[in-house]
Structure formats: structure tokens, C-alpha cells
């Protein structure tokens, strides 16, 4: 499973990229607003640090406007993936952009039917928002399983990019289902490393090692 980080905070991206475990980045208008900086500056900085796909979302909601914005965004770097909303014009733009060889991430997916349409439109990534499903009392992970089954039935190349991830178990469950990518907020990604028994075990090993009086050289 590929790990993307879901943030426009470039300091957090640098820190996580240094682990060597980061495969890409997703941003969205809310994350850019939270970062409080120029969108293009942020994107350039991210693309310099992370060679994998970096999702940049259009703000237009009409086909022509999306294509215009996509053209600007694609000039930032080769690894920009254009993010379009799952609306009719978004899928039309997806088809056109992927036909032209662009990477496209179709976002705001909340149903298997929408995911099927995105795959037919040639999307590189489909982003189902599982946390927002859970928030309204629905089962976000069931949607991932449904999309996995549909994509496997027809051998679609579209990668399932699990979005709106809220906790480590979302990542684990998505991996069990066989989702291709998880985009994970920095705080959740950091939690994946931790287990109290790892810390406790390491403390004990280090204390015992000290008792041996040896060094490794």
C-alpha cells in the first residue's frame, strides 16, 4: 500500500519524507486555507521534496474552467495530479486530462456508483472519503470494499486512494481490503509508528545492554 500524506503543511511533509516511507501528497482547498500560504508556492515546495504524485485541486466547477486551471497546475511539476470533484464536469475534465496524459485524482467520492464512473473516465486515483461517511453513521470502509470488488471485476487501472482517514485502524482496514493508497493526516501517520510495548521493550533492551558494558563498533 502506498502512503500519501494529506496536508499542505510543508514542514510536516519534509519531516515525513525524511522517513523514506512517503509515496505522495494530497492537498485540498481547506488544507491550503489552513496553511495560509500561496498555493503555487506550496505546490512547488512539495514537488521538490516528494517525487511521487502531488494532488492539486481545481477551484473551477465547469469543464472549461477546470481545464484552464489544470493547465496552470500541471506547469508546476511533472508529478502534479490534478484533483477534480466528482461532478459531471469533473468527470468530463478527468476524461480529457487523462487522454492528454495527465494524472487525475477524482475527489469527493461517496458511492460505489461514483467510483465506477470515475474509473470509466480514466481516473488515475479515486478518493472515497471514509471518515466523512463514518461521521454521518455510515460504514466508510464498506465503500472501499465495494469499490475494490468492482475495480477487480473489470481490471480498472484506477487506484483506490482512501481519503478522510481519521485513525490508524482506518489504514489497517484499508490495507486488509487491498486499497492501493491511503492519504493520511500527519498526526495519524506518526501514530502508525507507535506501540507502548515497543517503547517498553526498547527501554528494557537498552538497560540490559548497558549492563553488559559492551559497545558495537
Q: How far is the CB of 186 from ligand G3P (least distance, A)?
A: 12
Q: Which of 11, 41, 31 shows the shortest CA–CA distance to 183?
A: 31
Does 129 help bind ligand G3P (rule: CB under 6 A)? yes
String of DSSP letters for 26-95: E--HHHHHHHTS-HHHHHHHHHHH--S-EEEE----SHHHHHHHHHHHHTT-TTEEEEEESSHHHHHHHH
* Closer residue to ligand G3P (CB): 2 or 132: 132
Using CB under 6 A, pick the residue from 9, 17, 164, 189 that binds ligand G3P: 164
159 DSSP assignment:
E
- Lay out the site mask for ligand G3P across 5-44 (x = CB under 6 A, - = otherwise): -x-------------------x-x----------------
In the bound complex, what is the minimum distance in angstroms from residue 31's beta carbon to ligand G3P?
7
- Determine if residue 2 is left, alpha or beta; phi over 0 gives left, psi from -120 to 50 gives alpha, anything else beta: beta
Contact characters 68-107, ligand G3P, x per CB under 6 A:
----------------------------------------
State the nearest-atom distance from the C-beta of 6 to ligand G3P, in Å.
5
The residues annotated as belonging to the active site are: 83
Going by C-alpha positions, the residue among 11, 58, 9 that lies closest to residue 36 is 9
Residues 109, 91 contacting (CB under 8 angstroms): no
Interface residues with ligand G3P (CB under 6 A)? 6, 26, 28, 129, 131-132, 163-164, 183
Amino acid at each position: 500500500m502506498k502512503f500519501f500524506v494529506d496536508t499542505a503543511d510543508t514542514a510536516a511533509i519534509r519531516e515525513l519524507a525524511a522517513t523514506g516511507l512517503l509515496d505522495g501528497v494530497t492537498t485540498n482547498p481547506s488544507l491550503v486555507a489552513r496553511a495560509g500560504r500561496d498555493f503555487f508556492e506550496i505546490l512547488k515546495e512539495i514537488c521538490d521534496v516528494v517525487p511521487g504524485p502531488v494532488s492539486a485541486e481545481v477551484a473551477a466547477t465547469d469543464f472549461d474552467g477546470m481545464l484552464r486551471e489544470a493547465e496552470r497546475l500541471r506547469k508546476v511539476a511533472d508529478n502534479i495530479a490534478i484533483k477534480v470533484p466528482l461532478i459531471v464536469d469533473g468527470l468530463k475534465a478527468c476524461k480529457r486530462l487523462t487522454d492528454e496524459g495527465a494524472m487525475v485524482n477524482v475527489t469527493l467520492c461517496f458511492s460505489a456508483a461514483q467510483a465506477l464512473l470515475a474509473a470509466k473516465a480514466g481516473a488515475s486515483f479515486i478518493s472515497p472519503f471514509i471518515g466523512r461517511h463514518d461521521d454521518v453513521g455510515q460504514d466508510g470502509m464498506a465503500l472501499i470494499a465495494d469499490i475494490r470488488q468492482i475495480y477487480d471485476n473489470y481490471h480498472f487501472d484506477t487506484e483506490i486512494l482512501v481519503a478522510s482517514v481519521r485513525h490508524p485502524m482506518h489504514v489497517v482496514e484499508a490495507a486488509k481490503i487491498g486499497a492501493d493508497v491511503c492519504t493520511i493526516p500527519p498526526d495519524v501517520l506518526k501514530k502508525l509508528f507507535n506501540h507502548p510495548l515497543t517503547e517498553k521493550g526498547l527501554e528494557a533492551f537498552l538497560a540490559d545492554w548497558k549492563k553488559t558494558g559492551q559497545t558495537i563498533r
